[in-house]
C-alpha cells in the first residue's frame, strides 16, 4: 500500500511539472517552410539570422513504442550503431569530421522518435548533409561492432537507471502507469531484453526504419531559403539501396 501511495505522489508531482513547465513558442507556424523531396523526405526550414550557424536535425518516426515485445531498447541501440561507420566513413569518423569543421553532433531516442543533429557553420552545411545521407543508405555494422555497442548500452543503463534511485523510481512508475501501452517499456530497454538482442534483430529493425520516406529534416539557419533548398535536394534526393549493410 505504501508503495502505491508513493508512486501516486510521484505521478502527481510529474503532472504538475508538465502542466506548469511549458513555455511559449519562439516562432510561428507561418515562419516554417515545408518541402517534400522526390524520395519522400519531408524537409522543414526555419530561417534565423542571429548567427552564421545552422542546426540540422533529422527525425526518424520510430521510437521505443514501436519495438516488439521482448526487444526493448532496440531503437536506442540502433541509434548507437548509426555512429559505427559506413562504406565511406569509418567508425566514429562521423563525429570527428563534424568536430574538425568546428561543429557539434549528437543523437537522442524517445518513445516516439529518434533524432540526430549537427550544429555547424552555415557554409559547412553540405558536409553534415552528405554525412547524414551516407549513413542513411550505407550503414555497415558487423557482429563485433554490434556486441560492443550492446555492452555500452548495458553499462549506460547501469549508470543512469540502476545506480540512480530517482531514475529507477520513475522507470517503475512508467511500468505501472502504462500497463497496456508500449510506453511501459523504458527507452533504454530492460536489461533482460538487452541481453537477448542479436545482430540479426538489429539488422531487421534498421532496414525497416532508416529510409528517406520515414524521417523529417529540420533546419534552423541564417541561409536564404531559395538558395538552400535546391542544393539540399542533391545529396538527399536519391533513393537508398534496399537496406543498410549488416555483415
Residues 70-97 have pLDDT tens digits of 999 999 999 999 999 998 999 989 999 9
**21-58 in b/e burial notation, b at 16+ Cβ within 10 A?**
eeeeeeeeeeeeeeeebeeebbbebebbeeeebbbbbb
Calculate Rg over the CA atoms of the chain. 20
Catalytic residue positions, numbered: 79
**Domains of the chain from N-terminus onward:** 30-236 (3.30.830.10)
pLDDT (tens digit per residue) in 162-173:
999 999 999 999
This prediction has a pTM of 0.78
Percent of the chain with pLDDT over 70: 70
Amino acid at each position: 500500500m505504501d508503495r502505491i501511495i508513493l508512486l501516486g505522489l510521484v505521478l502527481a508531482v510529474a503532472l504538475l511539472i508538465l502542466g506548469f513547465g511549458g513555455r511559449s513558442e519562439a516562432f510561428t507556424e507561418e515562419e516554417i517552410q515545408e518541402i517534400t523531396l522526390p524520395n519522400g523526405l519531408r524537409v522543414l526550414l526555419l530561417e534565423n539570422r542571429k548567427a552564421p550557424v545552422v542546426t540540422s536535425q533529422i527525425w526518424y518516426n520510430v521510437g521505443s513504442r514501436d519495438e516488439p515485445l521482448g526487444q526493448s531498447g532496440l531503437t536506442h541501440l540502433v541509434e548507437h550503431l548509426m555512429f559505427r561507420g559506413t562504406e565511406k566513413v569509418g567508425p566514429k569518423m562521423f563525429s570527428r569530421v563534424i568536430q574538425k569543421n568546428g561543429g557539434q553532433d549528437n543523437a537522442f531516442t524517445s518513445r516516439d522518435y529518434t533524432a540526430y543533429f549537427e550544429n555547424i557553420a552555415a557554409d559547412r552545411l553540405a558536409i553534415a548533409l552528405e554525412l547524414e545521407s551516407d549513413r542513411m543508405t550505407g550503414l555497415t555494422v558487423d557482429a563485433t561492432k554490434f556486441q560492443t555497442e550492446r555492452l555500452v548500452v548495458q553499462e549506460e543503463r547501469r549508470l543512469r537507471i540502476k545506480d540512480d534511485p530517482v531514475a529507477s523510481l520513475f522507470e517503475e512508475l512508467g511500468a505501472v502507469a502504462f500497463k497496456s501501452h508500449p510506453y511501459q517499456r523504458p527507452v533504454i530497454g530492460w536489461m533482460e531484453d538487452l541481453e537477448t538482442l542479436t545482430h540479426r534483430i538489429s539488422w531487421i529493425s534498421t532496414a525497416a526504419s532508416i529510409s528517406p520516406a520515414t524521417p523529417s529534416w529540420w533546419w534552423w539557419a541564417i541561409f536564404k531559403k531559395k538558395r538552400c533548398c535546391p542544393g539540399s535536394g542533391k545529396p538527399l534526393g536519391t533513393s537508398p539501396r534496399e537496406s543498410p549493410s549488416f555483415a
